[in-house]
Amino acid sequence: DAKTTQPPSMDCAEGRAANLPCNHSTISGNEYVYWYRQIHSQGPQYIIHGLKNNETNEMASLIITEDRKSSTLILPHATLRDTAVYYCIVRGLNTGNQFYFGTGTSLTVIP
């Protein structure tokens, strides 16, 4: 599975959009991009995933560049409850189902 690179930390003002970048320059054609988050020491929570096209759900939007080498998770109106560590993961269709979480981006939403 391709490895990912994320900034270690970011701040965002409450009510503003939080844009979390992820670099996955070695991604291959059958690998999905996943985003999870972990609040304090709770179990990681699934946010969204995509393969090629941009995706949106009730939590966030995922923007994948045309060359698929990077992506951005967008939380449209960040709240204090969005303060968490955000993990970007790439994972292939036929792998042994291993998720490489890395160390993620610690997002702090500031009042």
Q: Which residues in this chain contact other proteins in the complex, by CB under 8 A? A: 30-32, 34, 41-46, 49, 51, 87, 91-99, 101-104
Q: Which is nearer to other proteins, 17 or 93 (CB)?
A: 93
Q: Which is nearer to other proteins, 21 or 92 (CB)?
A: 92
Q: Which is nearer to other proteins, 8 or 111 (CB)?
A: 8
Coil, helix or strand at residue 80: helix
Side chain identity at residue 11, one-letter code:
D
- Nearest-approach distance from CB 7 to other proteins, in angstroms: 15
Picking from 87, 85, 93, 73, the residue whose alpha carbon sits closest to that of residue 27 is 93
- Nearest-approach distance from CB 84 to other proteins, in angstroms: 13
Tokens of 65: 């560049």
Coil, helix or strand at residue 10: strand
Q: Which is nearer to other proteins, 48 or 109 (CB)?
A: 48
- Nearest-approach distance from CB 93 to other proteins, in angstroms: 4
- Nearest-approach distance from CB 111 to other proteins, in angstroms: 27
Picking from 23, 29, 39, 53, the residue whose alpha carbon sits closest to that of residue 81 is 39
What is the C-alpha separation between 18 and 5, in angstroms, rounded? 17
